[in-house]
Amino acid sequence: MVKKQSHTEKVIKVATMRPKITVQKPENKAKKVKVEITKAEIKTENKSEIKTEIESEIKVEVEAKSENNKLLENAMNPLMCSMVELSSNMSCMLKDGEITYVNAGGVNLMNAETPEQIVGMTLVDITGTTDIDKLSADVGKLIEFGTSMETKIICFDGTFKNAVMKAQKINNADTDVFSYILDIKDVTKEKQAEEKVRESGNADDITGLISRKIFEDRLERAIIRSTRASFGKPEHSALHIGIFSMNIDNLSHINESFGYEAGNQVLRTISMRLASSFRQKDTIARSESDGFYILLEDIMIDDDVELVARKTLALMYEPIIYEGNNLAMGCSIGISVFPKHGVSINPLIKASVTALKKVKENGGGYYLVYEHKMEEDEKESAA
């Protein structure tokens, strides 16, 4: 009668099938350490102490790697396990939603120092998404259909990387545990090259500013960065984002009185003023015939947004000279703030536009920060 192997015996058998890793200490290692100790003016005569110290460091390093790989080795066959370990992509195993293993490629992709920094994180942590239900559904499709999806990965230094993600379920003996492997490939360079081509084709012909589509892309990235940077922080120390919807109040009058070239010169001049007045990290875009969008990143308090709005109004009131004519200028600004007025692109832009409409209804020439009652007033007036 053949004895049936238990699950534990199977795991042990698989583990023993893996090649043994032997760590050899270079012969000149002790000499190198001895030289460094001498330079530091630390006198050690006992060479055996130096040898013991080197061996201890190697042992700790090997044990740390072994601990990081233990769950992976138990969950997968040796061949697949080796492929995951050696992959240049970020490969990580998730158990019930938490990362329990990550390879060296993942440490490199996320600009981390050790795997331990990543272990324990979730997909929400590394992508910064605010739509958890959609993320769960997308990952489910990856596992079910074997497809891939584009995403963004937030790194430990605050930067982000474009990535393509795939997923594969792990068949566990423990049916109560849901585990899967994620393969995340860094495609940042490819995306940057695509964006340069796209932006060159989407620049406004008159001002050279980016289009609304590019503005929305940058707003999305800013939301992800702000969400990650502010995680776990009290509201007063969290990073906010300001969105301006701005209109030139009398551009149509200038076009009618002096011609469209005069109006174009006004737009070019205002674009240059804005570009020279805002920070490099801020974004300025052309929204429509007489409008602009402005994205302010890393705002600490809402009052900072209003301070910038006042300075922008003062900047716009400076006259523009066109063919000897003094063109008097003015503008109106509607403001929304992340996350107070929305946590995604469309609600934030809509809130700033609603505030701008309120300013224009009352004669223009000033700014307003969005308030929820503006939506109610707008519905009542439309009824």
pLDDT digits (tens, 9 = 90+) for 159-182: 889 999 999 888 765 555 678 889
On whether both 242 and 352 belong to a single domain, the answer is yes
Give the global pTM: 0.55
On whether both 188 and 226 belong to a single domain, the answer is no
Residue bearing the bigger pLDDT, 240 or 65: 240
Residue bearing the bigger pLDDT, 203 or 89: 89
Confidence (pLDDT) at 203: 76
Give yes or no for a contact between 305 and 298, defined as CB atoms under 8 angstroms apart: no
On whether both 244 and 182 belong to a single domain, the answer is no
- 114 within a domain of the structure (yes/no): yes
- Left if phi > 0, otherwise alpha if psi is -120 to 50, otherwise beta: which for 332? beta
Give yes or no for a contact between 49 and 28, defined as CB atoms under 8 angstroms apart: no
pLDDT single digits (tens) 278-311: 988 899 999 877 889 999 998 877 778 999 999 9
CA 92 to chain centre: 19
On whether both 190 and 136 belong to a single domain, the answer is yes
Assigned token pair, 179: 């585990």
Site of tokens 């705002």: 299
Q: What is the dihedral of CA 308, 311, 316, 317, to 10 degrees?
A: 150
Bridging pattern class, strands 283-288 and 291-299: antiparallel
Confidence (pLDDT) at 99: 92
Task: Count CB atoms within 10 A of the CB of residue 29.
Answer: 16
On whether both 246 and 365 belong to a single domain, the answer is yes
- 230 within a domain of the structure (yes/no): yes
On whether both 215 and 281 belong to a single domain, the answer is yes
**Rounded to an integer, what distance in angstroms lies between the CA atom of residue 291 and that of residue 311?**
17
Which parts of 46-178 are beta strand (E)?
A: 90-95, 98-102, 149-154, 160-170
Q: With 90 as the cut, is the pLDDT of residue 111 above it?
A: yes
In the chain, how many domains are there?
3
Least reliable range by pLDDT among 26-35, 46-55, 85-94, 301-310: 26-35
On whether both 123 and 169 belong to a single domain, the answer is yes
pLDDT single digits (tens) 126-142: 998 878 888 888 888 88
Exposure class string for 111-144: b at 16+ Cβ within 10 A, else e = ebeebeebbeeebbebbbbeeeeebeebbeebbe
**What is the domain range of residue 145?**
76-194
**Rounded to an integer, what distance in angstroms lies between the CA atom of residue 241 and that of residue 344?**
11
Closest CA to 245 of 320, 297, 296: 296
On whether both 222 and 327 belong to a single domain, the answer is yes
**Rounded to an integer, what distance in angstroms lies between the CA atom of residue 11 and that of residue 283?**
55
Give yes or no for a contact between 118 and 102, defined as CB atoms under 8 angstroms apart: yes
* Number of helices (H), then strands (E), in the chain: 14, 12
Site of tokens 């602009």: 292
What is the CATH classification number for the domain harbouring 255?
3.30.70.270
On whether both 243 and 376 belong to a single domain, the answer is yes
**Rounded to an integer, what distance in angstroms lies between the CA atom of residue 319 and that of residue 325?**
10
Domain boundary among 170, 194, 218: 194
**Rounded to an integer, what distance in angstroms lies between the CA atom of residue 164 and that of residue 372?**
38
The angle subtended at Cα 362 by Cα 359 and Cα 367, nearest 5°, is 30
- 313 within a domain of the structure (yes/no): yes
Confidence (pLDDT) at 9: 40
On whether both 99 and 53 belong to a single domain, the answer is no
Task: Count CB atoms within 10 A of the CB of residue 98.
Answer: 13
Task: Count CB atoms within 10 A of the CB of residue 342.
Answer: 19
Confidence (pLDDT) at 12: 29
Quick one: CA dihedral 172, 182, 102, 233, positive or negative? Answer: negative
What is the CATH classification number for the domain harbouring 185?
3.30.450.20
Assigned token pair, 17: 């099938």
Long-range contacts of 123-129 (CB under 8 A, 24+ apart): 123/94, 123/97, 123/182, 125/154, 125/231, 126/99, 126/153, 126/154, 127/151, 127/152, 127/153, 127/154, 127/224, 128/152, 128/154, 128/160, 128/224, 128/225, 128/227, 128/228, 129/224
Confidence (pLDDT) at 172: 61
pLDDT single digits (tens) 53-69: 655 654 544 454 445 55
- 103 within a domain of the structure (yes/no): yes
On whether both 29 and 113 belong to a single domain, the answer is no
Least reliable range by pLDDT among 225-229, 279-283, 356-360: 225-229
